[in-house]
Amino acid sequence: MQVILQYISDELRGIYPESEIQAIGYLLLEKLTGFSRTEILLNKNTQISREAANQLDGFLKKLKNYEPVQYVLGSTEFYSLPFKVNQSVLIPRPETEELVEWICLGNDRSKPLKMLDIGTGSGCIAISLKKNFPLAEMDAFDISPEALDVARENAKQNQVNINFREIDIFNPPAFNKKWDLIVSNPPYVPESEKSEIQRNVIDYEPSMALFVPDDDPLRFYRTITNFARKNLKIGGKLYFEIHYQSGKKMLDLLTECGFRQLALKKDISGKDRMISGII
């Protein structure tokens, strides 16, 4: 195993930072061998099969083209749960785990809450919440049928029941139900920031799930906030992940739409990243 880790390091040196190469090496070996990281360390003199070696070279070829390791492996972990991912969905981020944690800490898990995740993508938010709120009735919307296919696979893998629907939030149908909690992590990166985004994100992750026009960066937030105002129960909560520079504008937007008890929360890096309000 030690020889293979060194081989991976040599192949990827100069393309990725050394700290990232080490993490990628363990992820690749975990996938190829089924071993945990501890087992890899304990079996440092163990060799891999020719078949596994060929598969490894295929992985490395993709990584040299800057394809994210999560797509290369077809899987990732989010909130301690396994998720399948492909280029139809965004790779779940640690900041979104913080949003899920905030919701888990701020709501009663013993109640049969009605929850909705708008723009569910891989289903990571909806599935993680359903795991932690077992009595909740969970709905999840997305405009992409390909993303919903991935989300349904993830719900099945994690053994949760979620009502997935293909819905354009800019043109939603009427609903005869109201939710206790609505959450969304919509596109929020301005087009002008594309030049600052890493190549592996630009080349492989779905741009429709990332970017918004410079002249209307809050278009999703405004639409979802208005939807939530009409479709939340009295006392219902709205949660968003946001662009780190839009905190003040989001506070103004939620206030104008009648939300109260607003809370703006920073992520682990100290940047404004989440907001919530009650209708």
Q: How far apart are CA 54 and CA 66, in angstroms?
A: 19
Please indicate whether the domains covering 2-65 and 76-278 agree at the CATH topology level. no
Q: Is the dihedral of CA 33, 35, 41, 42 positive or negative?
A: negative
Map out the domains of the chain as residue ranges.
2-65, 76-278
DSSP character for 67?
A: -
153-197 pLDDT, tens per residue?
999 999 999 999 999 999 999 999 999 999 999 999 888 898 888
261-278 pLDDT, tens per residue?
999 999 999 999 999 999
Q: How far apart are CA 148 and CA 16, in angstroms?
A: 31
Contact 169, 119 (CB under 8 A): yes
Beta strands 81-84; 75-78: pairing state: antiparallel
End-to-end CA distance of the chain: 56
> Across residues 203-214, what is the average pLDDT?
89
Q: How far apart are CA 176 and CA 112, in angstroms?
A: 18
Give domain 76-278's CATH superfamily.
Vaccinia Virus protein VP39 (3.40.50.150)
Q: How far apart are CA 262 and CA 279, in angstroms?
A: 10
Q: How far apart are CA 65 and CA 161, in angstroms?
A: 37
Q: How far apart are CA 1 and CA 47, in angstroms?
A: 6
Closest CA to 209 of 88, 57, 75, 36: 88
pTM, two decimal places: 0.92
CB-CB neighbours of 73 under 10 Å: 18
Which are the contacts of 196, defined by CB distance < 8 A and separation ≥ 6? none
Instruction: Identify the CATH assignment for 2-65 out of 1.20.1540.10, 3.90.1150.10, 1.10.8.10, 3.30.1330.20.
Output: 1.10.8.10
pLDDT score, position 199: 83
Q: What is the mean pLDDT of the chain?
A: 94
Q: What is the pLDDT confidence band of residue 25, given thresholds at 50, 70 and 90? A: very high
